[in-house]
Amino acid sequence: MEIADGIHLIKNPHSTYFVSSVLIMGESLTLVDAGRVESPETSIYPAIKALGRDPREISLLVLTHAHWDHCAGAAQIKRETGCDVAVHSNGKAYLADPETVAKELTLRFPGVPAGNMAAFDAVDPEIVFSEGSTIALDGRELKVVHTPGHSAGSCCIVEADLGLYIAGDSIQGRGERRPLIFHDANAYLSSMNRLLGEPIEILVNGHPFPPSGEGVLRGEVTKRHVEESIKAVEELKDTVLEALGDSDGAVSLVEIHEAIGAFQPFTIGCILEALKAEGKATRETAGGRVLWQA
Ligand SMILES: [Zn+2]
């Protein structure tokens, strides 16, 4: 799907929906996000060939963040094309050791299974960027807008001339299980408030987040998507606080998750941490269990 002249969205199949890659065509090819481990073979390379180009022309792979469904294809693409890989400094450790995401989540939220987030080969990035970094392509420039929250290294990769923001999972709308997972809920809200002031013309999401359910949003809809993302988290905070208030004494994260009946347990955990930081919830350890109370 063409996003702009020479810029294409590749929808890599992912569960019942998709994870986005963006192909930027110049003299060589730049790819933003590498999809799942099978994505190079099954969707990225075929899309490039269908556009009359050769996957071996990929000279740069930029990652919006280092979560498995966006970076698991990176090792194969790098091996087969010799491309440089670029990631935010906060994502480097996750690429070097794919176990890191699951390990950190297990430490923060004991008793919640971390799933298959380590299902990829390690990658050593050539380019490590940060807020405001620029990446020169032939005929274009990409700019990094650091939007932490979903993960500490989540970024929007921006083509400023077009107002094109490739957001990965930075702006999740009403994402719920696909995949409203935060590294830090209050950092996420700060990033959303910052993005309300950014000149976004075209927004490319990492997944077809509700309410739009589209990979590419344009014009005023982009702002509404950011506003919905803020509302979703504010409302979730209220819901969690209510569940805490309704419970008899201190409860575990898993119990609160079950009471609410939606969202990833990690999402609820991040909301609890945010409420704790605001003095609205307390965390205690009793009999080896971590318990929360309003
Ligand atoms: Zn992610």
Residue 65's closest CA among 166, 191, 192?
166
Ion ligand 1 neighbours, Cβ < 5 Å:
67, 169
**What are the pLDDT digits (tens) for 233-278?**
999 999 999 999 999 899 999 999 999 988 888 899 999 999 999 9
Q: How far is the CA of 265 from the centre of ligand 1 (A)?
A: 15
In terms of Cβ atoms closer than 10 Å to its own Cβ (0-12, 13-18, 19+), residue 13 is middle
Q: How far is the CA of 65 from the centre of ligand 1 (A)?
A: 7
pLDDT of residue 179: 60
Residue 117 pLDDT > 80, yes or no?
no
pLDDT of residue 180: 73
Residue 138's pLDDT band (boundaries 50, 70, 90)?
Answer: confident
Residue 15's pLDDT band (boundaries 50, 70, 90)?
Answer: confident
Q: How far is the CA of 150 from the centre of ligand 1 (A)?
A: 7
Residue 214 pLDDT > 80, yes or no?
yes
Q: How far is the CA of 146 from the centre of ligand 1 (A)?
A: 14
pLDDT of residue 26: 96
Cα separation, 294 vs 284, in Å, equals 12
Residue 13's pLDDT band (boundaries 50, 70, 90)?
Answer: very high
Mean pLDDT of the chain: 94
* Encoded tokens for 107: 């430490």
Return all residues near 193 (Cβ < 8 A) that are at least 6 apart.
230
Return all residues near 219 (Cβ < 8 A) that are at least 6 apart.
201
Residue 286 pLDDT > 90, yes or no?
no
The answer to whether the beta carbons of residues 230 and 193 sit under 8 Å apart is: yes
pLDDT of residue 278: 95
Q: How far is the CA of 174 from the centre of ligand 1 (A)?
A: 15
- CA of 105: how far to CAs of 34, 44, 68, 181, 263, in Å? 23, 30, 14, 11, 16
Q: How far is the CA of 67 from the centre of ligand 1 (A)?
A: 5
Residue 29 pLDDT > 90, yes or no?
yes
Query: Mean pLDDT lowest for which of 61-75, 95-109, 126-140, 228-242?
Result: 95-109
**What are the pLDDT digits (tens) for 150-205?**
999 999 999 999 999 999 999 999 987 666 777 899 999 999 999 999 999 999 99
Residue 16's pLDDT band (boundaries 50, 70, 90)?
Answer: confident
The answer to whether the beta carbons of residues 91 and 151 sit under 8 Å apart is: yes
Residue 291 pLDDT > 70, yes or no?
yes
Q: Which domains does the chain have, with CATH numbers?
A: 2-219 (3.60.15.10)
Q: How far is the CA of 280 from the centre of ligand 1 (A)?
A: 27
State which amino acid sits at residue 260: I
Q: How far is the CA of 151 from the centre of ligand 1 (A)?
A: 7
